[in-house]
Amino acid sequence: MAAPAPRLWLRFLRPLAAQEPSFYRVVVACFLIAGTLWMLRGLNKVHVAPLRYPIAWRYNRQRYHPA
């Protein structure tokens, strides 16, 4: 059962073996653009995490000046 896996990888990677350097530059550029767009799309979403943590405000009442 383990023998078909290496053959499958070779089947996909063999067409990429004898390409010109410009081909690899285009492939890398496509991956960089896709990764950048994926990251920017993820940053564009609203991420909310409700926290329930008690907060105690401590301040000096003599030096407090409300704005």
- Half-sphere exposure for 20 (CA within 13 Å, toward CB): 3
Percent of residues, the chain, with pLDDT higher than 90: 28
Cα 6 to the center of its chain, rounded Å: 29
Distance CA 18, CA 11 (A): 14
Mean pLDDT of the chain: 85
Residue 38's pLDDT band (cuts 50, 70, 90): very high
Report the SS3 class of residue 61: coil
pTM of the model: 0.49
